[in-house]
Structure 1
């Protein structure tokens, strides 16, 4: 890990500052939207727009990098992010925010892809897994720390919009001044969704459902807090607990996933999450009772994402990893677009409890599908599966591909479903 930090400290520092800015904007918009009188459904359109932009960015950024170059793309996207973060306060209208969220989602997606390509290029086969772990940790730590910054000024003013703009602007300085030679981006062969689904039906369906769950947690948690009448401090603690749970639970769940049938673990975790949401659906709980529910929701939703990637990886050849990572992220993105929209509609129809009901229903659907899939395919033994690699759902397909490669190196297999022949080369763009 020391070697990873020595070679990538500037990049990781910059990413931490970027995540501080991104983590602030999501929570801040939910609170400011309530102050401006936007309805939960209007705010759901705003929040969903981010994932539209993120999906577009993951599709078009690789071509931009090949045609224009890493440094120019990185600087242009960073400048656009800083500008949009300030424009939120200048144009406080939900429709304008929705357009800005598409733009900023596109830009953040491009920033993640560019950063991850540099991080992968600076890593060796031996250190790539550690680099991915460090990358995941700085992402989660940045988002958690961002919630504390929500309390330094009045969300009805301009200061909380200026702070993330400054953080993002400053973040690009160490990265651009220390980044080495930009890595080459190669086109990858296509992997149809039909082939991906045949390789892992549970991976595809699960990624779609988890995309909807994570988008609701990421985009609508602050909207829930505003609708429920929580204070700014309470909302920041509530959102922070969601991501703290995701950071803490990744590793014990990862340990368990390498030692048992991953479908059983997926089903069990989904049932636990669905049941844990029910008290908040039917009862008006005090604030302190919401915190363990927040920890459980984030602590299960985030590792489920990594768990589904690991499960899909068990049925992939090395040559399919790049295309499969892009396909999985696209499926996840489609689910993410609908997540805030449905949550906002449910909250408008039945109040704050709709937030938890939506999560409970999707978790129950995932548990039911995982249980059914257990009757359709025999379980692989632990020596036939790759290792679990912790990932953040905010990562791009490049990080997912790198995680697939690192996981397969950690668990060589030779099964009827896929053959891992050894360490692969540096990841290429989706």
Structure 2
């Protein structure tokens, strides 16, 4: 772990600051939109814009990097992000914010692809798993820390927009000044979506539903808080609870996933987050209950991303895992684009409770479909080995691909060791 930190501290520290900025802008826009009098539907369009941009960015960033290189892409997109942060309070118009969210989602996607390829280049086979885990942990820490900064100034002013702009500008300095080698960037021929669906229907359907669940949390959590009459401090704590739950529950759920039928675990996790959403919908006026429900929903929904990828891998050959990762991320992105739109529509009809009702319906649908799939296919026999790698739903396809490649490397090493022991015997 120390070796990983010594070799990648600048990248990890820079990405943590970047996530502080990203986490602040997502929550802050929800609060500021309420102050500006934007309707729930307008906010849903604005929040959905981030995922539209992210989806296109994940497809276009690799080609941009191949054409002009990592450093130029990284610096250009970073400057754009910092500038957009300052434009939000200057031009408080729903259409302007929507366009800015699309652009900033595109930029963040490109930055993630660039940083994650650098991380992969800096890591070795021996420490790649630890590097990926540290990367995901600092991302969560950054998002949670961002919520605490929301209480340092008035969300109706400029200061809270200046802070993330400055942090994002600072975040690129240690990365660009300390990382000298430019990593190679190779293209991976993806599997078609139909091939992935035939391989793992549950993986595809689950990823689509999970995209809607995650984007509702990330994009509409603060909007819910504003409509529910929460204070800025309470909204900060509410949004933080989703990610604190994810950080704590991720590893226990991953440990279980390598030791039981993953479909059963998917069913239980999906049903659990649906139940937590129902509790919040009924008893959400009690703030402690609301926090506990958010902890449960975030703690069970975020690990499902890695769990669904691991389950799909159970039916793939090693050489197909990285290719399938891109398709799964794209499916997740399609669900993410629709998430804020549907959530906003439901909140417009039902009020704040529509937020948790939407998550409950998607969680229940995933649990029911998992139960159905258990009647259609035999379960896979899972050996007690670590082939569940932590990946956040907000990660780019590059991080998912790196996680897949790491799993393949570990599996191949274990197969080689087993073959050597068998030959010696």
User: Under a length normalisation based on structure 2, what TM-score does the superposition of the two structures give?
Assistant: 0.95
Q: Distance in 2 between matches of 1:51 and 1:133?
A: 24
What do the CA deviations read for 1:59-98 (whole angstroms, capped 9, x no partner)?
Answer: 0000000000000000000000000000001111111100
What do the CA deviations read for 1:218-260 (whole angstroms, capped 9, x no partner)?
Answer: 0000000000000000000000111100110001101111110
Q: Distance in 2 between matches of 1:384 and 1:240?
A: 33
5 Å-filtered alignment, 1:320-399, equals 320-383=320-383, 387-399=387-399
Compare 182-191 and 34-43 and name the one that shifted more: 182-191
Determine the structure 2 residue equivalent to 1:171: 171
Determine the structure 1 residue equivalent to 2:119: 119
Determine the structure 2 residue equivalent to 1:417: none
Determine the structure 2 residue equivalent to 1:264: 264
Determine the structure 2 residue equivalent to 1:244: 244
Q: Distance in 1 between matches of 2:404 and 2:104?
A: 28
Q: Distance in 1 between matches of 2:314 and 2:413?
A: 8
Determine the structure 1 residue equivalent to 2:85: 85
Q: Confirm or deny: 8 A CA contact 1:386 1:413 kept in the other structure.
A: no
Distance 1:100 1:421, change over 3 A: farther
Q: Distance in 2 between matches of 1:354 and 1:385?
A: 40
What do the CA deviations read for 1:47-68 (whole angstroms, capped 9, x no partner)?
Answer: 0000000001000000000000
Deviation, structure 1 residue 283: 4.4
* Structure 1 spans left out of the alignment, 5+ residues: 415-419, 423-430
Q: Confirm or deny: 8 A CA contact 2:322 2:405 kept in the other structure.
A: no
Q: Distance in 2 between matches of 1:238 and 1:284?
A: 11
5 Å-filtered alignment, 1:273-288, equals 273-288=273-288
Q: Confirm or deny: 8 A CA contact 2:190 2:327 kept in the other structure.
A: no
Q: Distance in 2 between matches of 1:77 and 1:141?
A: 23
Deviation, structure 1 residue 293: 0.4
Determine the structure 1 residue equivalent to 2:108: 108
Determine the structure 2 residue equivalent to 1:210: 210
Q: Distance in 1 between matches of 2:276 and 2:218?
A: 18
Deviation, structure 1 residue 381: 1.1
Distance 1:14 1:229, change over 3 A: same
Please tell me the root mean square deviation across aligned C-alpha atoms, in Å.
1.6
Determine the structure 2 residue equivalent to 1:402: 402
Determine the structure 1 residue equivalent to 2:8: 8
Q: Confirm or deny: 8 A CA contact 1:49 1:98 kept in the other structure.
A: yes
Determine the structure 1 residue equivalent to 2:94: 94
Secondary structure of the equivalent of 2:290? helix
Q: Distance in 2 between matches of 1:139 and 1:393?
A: 11
Matched, 1:193 2:200: no
Deviation, structure 1 residue 269: 1.0
Q: Confirm or deny: 8 A CA contact 1:310 1:407 kept in the other structure.
A: no
What do the CA deviations read for 1:366-418 (whole angstroms, capped 9, x no partner)?
Answer: 0011111111111111229861111111111111111122234445699xxxx
Matched, 1:17 2:6: no
Q: Confirm or deny: 8 A CA contact 2:284 2:290 kept in the other structure.
A: no
* Structure 2 spans left out of the alignment, 5+ residues: 418-425
Count of matched residue pairs: 417
Compare 276-285 and 308-317 and name the one that shifted more: 276-285
More helix by share: 2
Q: Confirm or deny: 8 A CA contact 2:40 2:347 kept in the other structure.
A: yes
Deviation, structure 1 residue 102: 0.3
Q: Confirm or deny: 8 A CA contact 1:386 1:409 kept in the other structure.
A: no
Q: Distance in 1 between matches of 2:60 and 2:391?
A: 22
User: Under a length normalisation based on structure 1, what TM-score does the superposition of the two structures give?
Assistant: 0.94
Secondary structure of the equivalent of 1:383? coil
